Amino acid sequence: MKDDKQLLTLLHLSQLIDLVTGIGGLLVPLIIWTLKKDEIIALDQHGKAIINFQLSMIVYALIAIPLVLLLGLGILVLIAVGILCLIYPILNALRASSGKDPIYPFSIQFIK
């Protein structure tokens, strides 16, 4: 196994593909994690954190859609999800580049 902080950083930043494609922010990290988790130190931990975060944000967005009809609460949830999906990949890319563990709040642990 080797230490590759650049790949970990790019793994976190790859979530920002969501801003362009809508689903690439889940698929790209999932593919990289699946292919490289046994080769790169800490990639398994970072990959699981990213997949859990992305799946959680999808669940929250799906819950927010019907809430749009209830006094517009869903719009606030969707805005919050969008902000989280923009800020936390960048913060965790910085953490990964300095060798720290990722922190993704509001993540449901789908993969342990």
Kindly report, residue by residue over 31-49, the tens digit of the pLDDT. Answer: 999 999 999 999 999 999 9
- Residue 23, pLDDT score: 79
Decide if 108 is inside a domain: no
Whether the CB-CB separation of 47 and 28 falls below 8 Å is answered with no
Decide if 106 is inside a domain: no
- Residue 19, pLDDT score: 82
**Predicted structure pTM score:** 0.92
* Tally of structural domains, the chain: 1
Decide if 112 is inside a domain: no
Which runs of consecutive H residues, i.e. helices, occur in 2-72?
5-13, 18-21, 24-36, 43-67
Domain of 66, in residue numbers: 5-97
pLDDT tens sequence across 59-109: 999 999 998 887 788 999 999 999 999 999 999 999 999 999 999 999 999
Question: What whole-number distance in Å separates Cα of residue 53 and Cα of residue 103?
Answer: 10
Gyration radius of the chain's alpha carbons: 15
